Chains A and B, each alone.
Chain A
Amino acid sequence: MAQGQMAPGIVAGRLSSDELTSNFTDLHPPLAPHEAAVAADRCYFCYDAPCVTACPTDIDIPLFIRQIQAGQPQSAGRTILEQNILGGMCARVCPTETLCEEVCVRETAEGKPVEIGRLQRFATDDIMASGVHPFERASSTGKTVAVIGAGPAGLACAHRLAMLGHDVVIHESKPKPGGLNEYGIAAYKSTNDFAQAEVDWLLKIGGIAIETGSVFGENISLDGLVENYDAVFLSIGLAGVNALRADGVDKGGVRAAVDFIADVRQASDLADLPVGRNVVVIGGGMTAVDAAVKSKLLGAEHVTIAYRRGRDAMGASRYEQDLAASHGVRIMTNVQPVSVHGNGAAAEIELEYTSSQNGTLSGTGEMIRLPADQVLKAIGQTLEGAPDGLTLDGNKIAVSGAGRTSLTGVWAGGDCAAGGEDLTVTAVAEGRDAAMDIHATLVS
């Protein structure tokens, strides 16, 4: 018997198994072959296409769409994967509305872009379902490379290096590879354990070993890696969570949104996953939207995103904001948390309205209290656990060129490295490009 939305506190099983299953199905179901043909026909095969320019991995989008039109989705898949080995996941999670599809000329013409993301999924699904790995390894170079972190940047780097004939060992701290593809990302965007299936498929290239449970300062060190390998690629992500400056944030029910999302992603049964009746998510990015929508899908009665600036300043795209709203999430803007009230566990959150003048944010003194038995912090992640000796740029590892760090023989990419947006697709591009630079260095 389901607990229902109005059960007080943070409880599991608010919804029935059937409701949960239905709530967590694919947000964008795959295109059927005929749908794909019709969608592909809308592409104008633009000259020097804007969508390619907008893609961080420079996928030749008009070409792969034409290959779908011509009845060869596997060729289309290869075109995608040559540029972006995680093209399957990117097809699911890329904010296409702010990348390729935003600049599609049909968006200009009709406000309705070619469905590039779904077409990419059609092609990559097809090639992955065939069980064929379309790339072959070059003959061995005898060189070995250590990749730290099995997230999108690390996997992309490892695959490209393996393809070029190098032997790669990926050191991963978590029990499973995939990084945020496995532990982050909205569950309704990556269904059926796609992240692991994609890693398994990627590893078919051969020459890549994954060692889980590897943690800097515990069982690996940068010095040791540099000594034992010909090159090192750091793709350790952002393991820390920014601190929320408000009173009472140590009360029960207050936690990091990324941990909540990881729990949802790793849950063997969503009915066992507790969620509050009144959930307040602090932040305005994609993580905030993911956490808020997931809370709602798990059966929370009221879910509010509280963001300190205006809607235009939110990191989440308008599409993501609308997605949240369509699931019944309330978006409050220009409010900042002041304190969490409650006797041991959170019961209410007190927010102060803000105003922004010349970019400086200040509280107006007007307060509002919302019932909140669960408070999820989604105010950004931060570099944590990085080895000493690297020059930083702000809070991230400084890089130049294709991911070269301040240390010879050490490259970095993905969220931990400075520059670029913190997106899966950007991480893939950085990993791939660093691999090419490592290769050029090792064989020169």
Chain B
Amino acid sequence: MADLTTNFLGISSPNPYWLASAPPTDKEYNVRRAFEAGWGGVVWKTLGAEGPPVVNVNGPRYGAIYGADRRLLGLNNIELITDRPLEVNLEEMARVKSDYPDRALIASIMVPCEEGAWKAILPRVAETGADGIELNFGCPHGMSERGMGSAVGQVPEYIEMVTRWCKQYYDRPVIVKLTPNITDVRKPAAAAKNGGADAVSLINTINSITSVNLDTFSPEPSIDGKGSHGGYCGPAVKPIALSMVSEIARAEATRGLPISGIGGVTTWRDAAEFISLGCGNVQVCTAAMTYGFKIIDELTAGLSEWMDAKGYTSVDQVIGRAVPNVTDWKYLNLNYIAKAKIDQDQCIKCGRCYAACEDTSHQAISISDERVFEVMDDECVACNLCVDVCPIEGCIDMVPMAAGEVDPRTGKEVQPTYANWTTHPNNPMAKAAE
């Protein structure tokens, strides 16, 4: 069994799975159950400043996108930060941490952008024995209207300023949680790093309306006929999160900055992908909210089994392995030429590849009277759409052509060398190959 123990910012946890700051981590009862189930750590539901707690809506807080069998693909929420008194949360955190010293316990914090507010809460959080803090600069709904959450995360200068205060008034690791509701995630990440952050975590949720009720014309989830954008999460957002994580992992300004990966982690495979793109651990929320805490058994066993099969003995060995393979489009090898190949033995003759290619792509698949579908190599640009729409996994393959073969589409020989856009003759900005 591979060792799943992780040491993220010096915070040890028995596995790389933390529960993200969210409803599942709102109180002692849930967190104890999560730890009993085997979760490596939790980021406690975001704490606000001392005083009257925030108030939540009393109607639906969530909306969902489903597959046909009501498989939950995306979840939207308009719940705010904890609506329980600060003191209660702090007392509970201290009790839980003392009972589970081997688990990570992180305090998520969201208070106004004033130095005094941070200065006031940080010592009290420190007293709980929490292993670190996460600055919630991400929630896109409700609190952002009050100048907090994503309203801070969208202004790199604010991120840097608040992070600096935290590093000044708190002596344990500071993680900055980023919002995806920006144009270039590298900017806020760099700001966090400049402010002294020990790590960033991402993504927080994405602005979203799940649907519109076509009888009442209210967005969903609907509160008395009105709706407000919520934060979108779950399996549907994973590709967005992976991309943002990879950008931070490979950008010069932020390279090496530890990352806690968040966004649609549902199975061990998702976690392995986040880790390979540079994350030191992952945070999970929607999957737990959908299936309960017990999924941790699959998450840990699956990751361990995969690592064993690949010969990795610690999570550290996986971190960042895919990062060198993330590049800019302009560096992709234009001499790499593939052709779709349909395995006739596996083909069930549904014709989806044909419809997709004929109607929407390159007219590179033929259909015979006997419904035999074949790729026309002289038209195929290897776009992969046929593979994507084929219901049979492995039936259509993208087979690379060998150097020296002639591409029937272009009539040109496949070159053995690497060549990209930066040196391509059609590129007006091309530089001669050196």
- Residues of chain A touching chain B, judged by Cβ–Cβ distance below 8 Å, are 34, 37-38, 40-41, 44-50, 69, 105-106, 108-109
Contact = CB atoms under 8 A, between A and B. Distances in A.
Contact of A108 (B68, B349, B354): B349
A41 B392 CA distance: 15
Contacts of B70: 34
B352 interface: yes
Contact of B68 (A41, A48, A49): A41
Given A44-B391, A109-B391, A109-B392, A50 B349 contact: yes
B355 interface: yes
Contacts of B69: 37-38, 41
Contacts of B391: 44, 109
B226 interface: no
B355 A47 contact: yes
A60 to B, nearest CB: 15
B68 A47 contact: no
B392 A40 contact: no
Interface string B347-366: 01111101100000000000
Contacts of A49: 351
Nearest to B389: A44
B330 interface: no
23 contacts: A34-B70, A37-B69, A38-B68, A38-B69, A41-B67, A41-B69, A44-B352, A46-B349, A47-B350, A47-B351, A47-B352, A47-B354, A47-B355, A47-B367, A48-B351, A48-B371, A50-B349, A69-B68, A105-B348, A105-B349, A105-B350, A108-B348, A109-B391
Interface in B321-368: 348-352, 354-355, 367
Nearest to A108: B348
Contacts of A38: 68-69
Nearest to B68: A41
Residue with the greatest number of chain B CB neighbours at <10 A, chosen from A40, A47, A108: A47
A222 B61 CA distance: 73
Interface in B231-283: none
A50 B350 CA distance: 8
A46 B68 contact: no
Contacts of B355: 47
B68 A106 contact: no
Interface string B63-80: 000011110000000000
Contacts of A106: 348
Given A38-B69, A40-B68, A41-B69, A46 B392 contact: no
Interface string B46-88: 0000000000000000000001111000000000000000000
Closest 9 CB pairs of A and B: A47-B351, A41-B68, A47-B355, A105-B348, A46-B350, A105-B350, A109-B348, A108-B348, A44-B350
A106 to B, nearest CB: 7
A40 B67 CA distance: 12
Contacts of A34: 70
B284 to A, nearest CB: 27
B145 to A, nearest CB: 34
B346 to A, nearest CB: 9
Nearest to B354: A47
Residue with the greatest number of chain A CB neighbours at <10 A, chosen from B67, B351, B392: B351
A37 B67 CA distance: 10
Residue with the greatest number of chain B CB neighbours at <10 A, chosen from A44, A69, A106: A44
Contact of B352 (A40, A45, A108): A45
Contacts of B350: 44, 46-47, 105
A313 B15 CA distance: 64
B394 to A, nearest CB: 12
Nearest to B365: A47
Nearest to A45: B352
A147 to B, nearest CB: 38
B313 to A, nearest CB: 40
Contacts of B371: 48, 50
Nearest to A34: B70
Contacts of B392: 109
A47 B351 CA distance: 5
Residue with the greatest number of chain A CB neighbours at <10 A, chosen from B350, B355, B391: B350
A69 B69 CA distance: 11
Contacts of B367: 47-48
A133 B355 CA distance: 34
A109 B347 CA distance: 8
A61 to B, nearest CB: 13
B80 to A, nearest CB: 33
Residue with the greatest number of chain A CB neighbours at <10 A, chosen from B68, B69, B355: B68
Nearest to A43: B350
Nearest to A106: B348
A348 B311 CA distance: 75
A247 to B, nearest CB: 51
A40 B68 CA distance: 9
Contacts of A44: 350, 352, 391
A38 B68 CA distance: 6
Contacts of B349: 46, 50, 105, 108
Contacts of A69: 68
A275 B69 CA distance: 45
Contacts of A40: 68
A45 B350 CA distance: 8
A40 B69 CA distance: 10
A87 B355 CA distance: 28
A34 B352 CA distance: 25
Contacts of A37: 68-69
Contacts of A41: 67-69
A114 to B, nearest CB: 11
A44 B391 CA distance: 8
A387 B55 CA distance: 85
Contacts of A48: 351, 367, 371
A288 to B, nearest CB: 34
A406 B67 CA distance: 56
Contacts of B68: 37-38, 40-41, 69
A95 B67 CA distance: 31
A208 B354 CA distance: 45
A48 to B, nearest CB: 6
A45 to B, nearest CB: 7
Nearest to A40: B68
Given A40-B68, A46-B350, 9 more contacts: A34-B70, A38-B68, A46-B349, A47-B351, A47-B354, A48-B367, A48-B371, A50-B371, A108-B349
